[in-house]
Amino acid sequence: MSERAALPDLDTLNHEALKALIIAQHAQILFKNEQLLSKEEQLASRDEEIERLKLLIAKLRRMHFGRKSEKLDWQIEQLELKLDELEASRAQQLAAPPAPMAASAVNRAAKRGRQPLPAHLPRETHKVLPKQEACPDCGGALKPLGEDVSEILEYVPEHFKVIRQVRPKLACACCDKIVQAEAASRPIERGMAGPGLLAHVLVSKYCDHLPLYRQSEIYARDGVELDRSTLAEWVGGCSRLLEPLVEALRRHVMSAEKLHADDTPVPVLAPGNGKTKTGRLWTYVRDDRPWGDQTPPAVWFAYTPDRKGEHPKTHLREFTGTLQADGYAGYDAVYEDGRVKEAACMAHVRRSFYDLYEAHKSAVAKEALERIAALYAIEEEIRGRSAEERREIRNARSRPLLESLKHWFEETLGKLSTKSDTTKAIRYALKRWDELMRFCNDGHLEIDNNAAERSLRAVVLGRKNYLFAGSDAGGERAAAIYGLIGTARLNGLNPEAYLREVLSRIADHPINRIEEFLPWNLAAELTGSSRRAA
């Protein structure tokens, strides 16, 4: 909490000083009122946009009869996705630390009627008794007085259930003192969703690539009506709750001495015109297991609205070491002061020749692939050995192969057209030759950047399924959850079981010990099927 400036002793101030103090206080009040008004206007504008989208979706659905129109289906899906993101953004903002405007908005939302949980679901009763066994005032015996009952909709693998939290009220037989256990905290304040259900919604959206409106339809088949807007509020609330954990994950990744980096485009709906722009998801992977290091592997994602080179420079501002990445020019600013060294990726070199061979059965491409395959065979053999042993073997066996490959590249160039695709592939390799050779002198490095590319697979699959992110805020939420899910998988954990455990405890956990919830620190508590990576 920020410290407030204390008022001076008013009795000691003269007329002019009092006048100046009043003017300053008045100006401060006006400034704060303008800030609050601006936030309220933003929320009002967002609410209007949500209502407009709901009306438009309803209109399109009414038009959707007879023979199906693929274009109409696509329009409805895109509007549904945009609505998901707007409502999740609103929920995330309302989950921010209390402020006069935010608190009033939350109270208004809380007053909305809530449908009772379905009666057909199985119910599990948890009775929460007060810690006191006798009256805390006079020591008298306690007798039942009544009880408070609340219900939480929970999800366990393959089915829903309702947990009834019963808090009996006990009264002292001597002095009528009433004793009752405090209500258990919930991941989302006043929310009806349990941690298992919240984890399932997040993993379904970001790991299994099911947009919220599709999840709503799936749950309805089980007789559980969960409106898409409700699911969006849960996603926004969880994102806000998990922010400190995502920051702890970032610090762990950036403290490495070697990182893998890559990025991929993400279509994002541009506000106002219904068209899409191209944002980027950046991935940074810390994984030193190939040389036998026991430091837990992890991946951190970042979202940006474009691909400017300033973004990786900002992401890597605290990193010192070697960055293994592709030849994107935006990384040049990261390397220019020498704090970060560049290591290139042999897989990018190989990919160009593979495409050439698949297209033309080129003899040059075939020989290049065979020479590169010999390098990978050595890497497979030394995987898991110490960094020093890897360095020695690479210098003894891989370096001569690389020198021969370079000489062959240079000879082959003279026999090819300067404009051919094969020439371009060779020149790409020769331009980065020193960076490609760097792994020979450092056993901590890899021959390629496949660790980063593997981390992007979930993003690519999701992009095929839901086409775009609904907003920049939606891209940032996706980056945060992708990082937690990806890190859980790298550590051999089931992402849903991991998030369920985190969400069941994080609301009451001290923020200065948030690192305790990083996946490897919870691995021992997740056993059996919970430990199997999805």
Instruction: For 506-518, write each residue's pLDDT tens digit.
Output: 999 999 999 999 9
Instruction: For 481-506, write each residue's pLDDT tens digit.
Output: 999 999 999 999 999 999 999 999 99
4 pLDDT band, cuts 50/70/90, is: very low
Instruction: For 222-236, write each residue's pLDDT tens digit.
Output: 899 999 889 999 999
Residue 33: its pLDDT value, please?
64
Asked whether the predicted pLDDT for residue 107 surpasses 70, the reply is no
DSSP class per residue in 355-384: HHHHHH--HHHHHHHHHHHHHHHHHHHHTT
Name the CA dihedral angle for 54, 59, 62, 64, rounded to a multiple of 10 degrees: -100
**Average pLDDT estimate for 249-273:** 89
Measure the CA–CA gap between 38 and 32, rounded to whole angstroms.
10
Q: Which range in 64-78, 113-127, 308-322 is most confidently predicted, on average pLDDT?
A: 308-322
98 pLDDT band, cuts 50/70/90, is: very low
Residue/partner pairs of 475-478 with CB below 8 Å, 24 or more apart: 475/266, 475/268, 475/279, 475/281, 475/303, 475/305, 476/303, 477/88, 477/92, 477/235, 477/236, 477/239, 478/206, 478/266, 478/281, 478/301, 478/303
**Average pLDDT estimate for 427-446:** 96
Residue 78: its pLDDT value, please?
59
Asked whether the predicted pLDDT for residue 466 surpasses 60, the reply is no
Asked whether the predicted pLDDT for residue 103 surpasses 90, the reply is no
- Tokens standing for 421? 């695709």
Name the CA dihedral angle for 155, 161, 165, 166, rounded to a multiple of 10 degrees: -170
Asked whether the predicted pLDDT for residue 28 surpasses 70, the reply is yes
**Average pLDDT estimate for 118-125:** 87
pTM of this structure: 0.76
Asked whether the predicted pLDDT for residue 414 surpasses 60, the reply is yes
472 pLDDT band, cuts 50/70/90, is: confident
